[in-house]
A and B are shown apart, each in its own frame.
Chain A
Amino acid sequence: MSDLAILNGRFVDGSAGGLLIRDGHIAAVGTFDVPEGVETIDARGKLIAPALIDVGAFAIDPAACLAGGITRVLLMPDQAQPLDSVALIQRMVVAGKPDIWIHPLAAATQGLAGTDLAEIGLMARGGAAGVATGRGWIGDSGVMHRLLGYAGALGLVTISHAEDGGLAADAVATQGETATRMGLSAAPAEAEAMAIARDLALVEISGAPLHFRQVTTAKGLALVRAAKARGLPVTCGITPAHLLLSDTAVSDFRTFARLSPPLRSEDDRKACLAALAEGTIDILCSAHDPRGPDAKRLPFADAEPGMSGAGTLLTLGLGLVRDGTIGLARLFDLVSGAPARRFGLPGGALEIGGEADVIIVDEGAPWQIQSDRMAAIAGNTPFDGLPVQGKVVRVVKGGVLL
């Protein structure tokens, strides 16, 4: 593995400098003497930052990840065959190499059916980075209680999907004016808070760490905020879609905007932005779920939920920085630092001795999100046509320039 020096860059804290990479690890940060014979890259004043770690994607999509500066993906267990056995976990661990590292999440229950615990301990030994309930919430409180205790004892973070199953059963939208006008079956936004309230009560019993993959409502965020204040080991995430779009985005039956959880009211969207700014939200993720025409070129309620998000996560995050919602350092904590800390993964920071997962970003580079031209398995983005700024120009994975 050859050594590499990235020179003349800027860091997320605004300081200038470069990076020396040796044997796949960061050997020097800031100013240093470039050893002889080392390959050098001139960053030309662009941003040098830790590569992104995406918490909870549904597909292995190296093209989309690299376009978006993502080098590590926590893969949801909702695969063609649910990731509920150690053999499947081991297969996923190597599935993205060499370009990206897949950190599979173990299915919490056998077949993701929500009833019987899967072999979580064996899967953890096989490389699972955590446990996830999958696309759905576990309705049986007894199962969830046992899951949290069991996973917590193994030192694993459980990732939950916060939507009450009874309320959200047939819903494809959030209850409100838009759903009513369009004649879509809808669940009240409180379905999220109800699920969170129960899960938090169970965390209170076991003390086990829990991460809500997406929290998207004012009431849900208030519960997380209060739980954190009480010292519960709880974190939560969100995608750019719920920060930037409200349910009016579905008002022409655009299936690319059919998401899970569904897009919320404008008031909830604003509450999400406030929660991001104040720090209640820990992680910004893509929920990358590329879906082709077979799943999306259908009537709204018949289409599958999900968006292609890996390629746009960083650029939309940089938009939040330009808007003044968050600072640049905080953005990179949301997409890289916090995920690494929460799930005990390498990367997430530019520190001497750390793994050299590094990106060079041209923050100002303008481009347009175009669903039919995305570097991804499928381009089902609700942001089709949006002009954005910020492009990943180089990706270094484990010291290797890609």
Chain B
Amino acid sequence: MSAASPSSAIDEMGGAIFPHRHLLGIAGLHPHEITFLLDEAEQWIALNRGKAKHDDRLAGLTQINAFFENSTRTLLSFEIAGKRLGMDVVNMAVAQSSVKKGETLIDTAITLNAMRPDVIVIRHESSGAVHLIADKVDCPVLNAGDGRHEHPTQALLDALTIRRRKGRIAGLTVAICGDVLHSRVARSNILALGTLGADVRVVGPPTLLPAEIERMGVTAFTDFDAGLEGADVVMMLRLQRERMAGGFVPSPREYHALYGLTPERLQRAAPDALVMHPGPMNRGVEISSSVADDLNRSAIPEQVEMGVALRMACLDVLTRRRRGVAGW
């Protein structure tokens, strides 16, 4: 079944260009649907760079950001995106919610739904949790990251960043490096970039590469230098602190020595290789500061900028049907 929407919703919800009720994942999206979202985001980049960063087309709608897992940047990005489109944006952080008091996820979903939101953005630490909620609510649901499963808007904003910097995605060699095992960003990017025709590699220590990852259409490398060879895009992943202490890698120091992106290492990649990181970075662990801060190579701040525009596009597209936009 499609992770992008329950199959029953296809052709029922949304327009013909993007016939999905929710955005739960990249899995199940066609290349033209991904391209459509990227194209839609372009107008918001221009708006966001202007003086009056505001558009009222979603005025009167309510957006709930339900983040069951801590987040600063993604939450902020979704909040700004909703507000710039004129929505009333409410954040529900777990620390303040009754989830801490033992309320079940389903009960929380039903409660949120009863407040009649027009779109719900959800992040949760369990794979599949966002699907569970999406089945119980009446409005579009945007997955802002579920466990190790998917983080579709991150992959879309990464694709947008690459497309703007490189002019294309098809035919590029993209190396996704680091903790692929625990990374929803890696999974969504593998699906999105692969769907758009990139040659995707995953690079990391064997303890952090999931089994049969090749079945997702990627080439796996455990040798960092070999994996970087000739890459057009080097996408670094964050390594969680708790996984550096012997469980998966012996120490931050050893990880940096073997899998840290340094200027010397980067020379293996294509001369104009783009460096990306979904943030927040562990400087000196998976990436050295001199690479992260190199304006000619690093697209890291640009990723954040594209994130707001891309999320505005997603919020706009997913609410078109309920706003009665012609053709939706």
Interface residues of A (CB under 8 A from B): 175-177, 179-186, 188, 251-253, 293-294, 297-302
Contact = CB atoms under 8 A, between A and B. Distances in A.
Contact of A183 (B1, B127, B212, B215): B127
Nearest to A186: B211
B126 interface: yes
Nearest to B127: A183
Interface string B210-244: 11110110000000000000000000000000000
B27 interface: yes
Given A252-B1, A298-B132, A188 B127 contact: no
B104 interface: yes
A293 B106 CA distance: 10
A300 B127 contact: yes
Given A298-B105, A300-B127, A183 B27 contact: no
Most B CB contacts (10 A, CB to CB) among A179, A186, A251, A299 go to A299
B128 A253 contact: yes
B128 A300 contact: yes
B211 A253 contact: no
Contacts of B148: 183-185
A169 B17 CA distance: 44
A141 to B, nearest CB: 24
B279 to A, nearest CB: 20
A293 B148 CA distance: 24
Given A179-B211, A181-B187, A253-B132, A298 B124 contact: no
A176 B211 contact: yes
Most A CB contacts (10 A, CB to CB) among B147, B187, B215 go to B147
Interface in B97-126: 104-106, 124, 126
19 contacts: A176-B212, A177-B215, A181-B187, A181-B215, A182-B127, A183-B148, A185-B148, A252-B131, A253-B127, A253-B131, A293-B106, A297-B132, A298-B104, A298-B105, A298-B126, A299-B147, A300-B128, A301-B126, A302-B129
Contact of B126 (A179, A188, A294, A300): A300
Nearest to B211: A175
B7 to A, nearest CB: 10
B37 to A, nearest CB: 21
B83 interface: no
A301 B212 CA distance: 20
Contacts of A301: 126-128, 147
Most B CB contacts (10 A, CB to CB) among A176, A177, A188, A293 go to A177
A299 B127 contact: yes
B149 interface: yes
A177 B105 contact: no
A301 B124 CA distance: 12
Nearest to B68: A299
B216 A184 contact: no
B285 to A, nearest CB: 22
B22 interface: no
Given A252-B1, A299-B147, A180 B215 contact: yes
Contacts, number: 73
Contacts of B149: 182-184
B196 to A, nearest CB: 18
B1 A299 contact: no
Contacts of A180: 210-213, 215-216
Nearest to B6: A252
Interface string B1-17: 10000000000000000
Interface in B280-326: none
Contacts of A299: 105, 124, 126-129, 132, 146-147
A294 B127 CA distance: 18
Contacts of B211: 175-176, 179-180, 186, 188
Nearest to B191: A181
Contacts of A302: 126, 129
The 8 closest A-B pairs by CB, nearest first: A183-B148, A253-B128, A299-B126, A183-B149, A299-B129, A177-B215, A180-B210, A183-B127
A181 B105 contact: no
A183 B132 contact: no
B127 A181 contact: no
B84 interface: no
A298 B210 CA distance: 24
B79 interface: no
Contacts of A300: 126-128
Nearest to B131: A253
B184 interface: yes
A186 B216 CA distance: 17
A183 B131 contact: no
A96 B194 CA distance: 57
A176 B147 CA distance: 17
B147 A183 contact: yes
Given A180-B216, A253-B128, A300-B127, 13 more contacts: A175-B211, A175-B212, A177-B212, A183-B148, A183-B184, A183-B187, A186-B210, A252-B1, A252-B131, A253-B131, A297-B132, A299-B124, A299-B126
A252 B132 CA distance: 10
Nearest to B136: A297
Nearest to B1: A252
B128 A182 contact: yes
A186 B213 CA distance: 13
B158 interface: no
Nearest to A252: B1
A315 B148 CA distance: 37
Contacts of B132: 253, 297-299
B150 interface: yes
A60 B164 CA distance: 63
Contacts of A252: 1, 131
Contacts of B106: 293, 297
Nearest to A173: B127
Interface string B174-217: 00000000001001000000000000000000000011110110
Contacts of A175: 210-212
Contacts of A293: 106
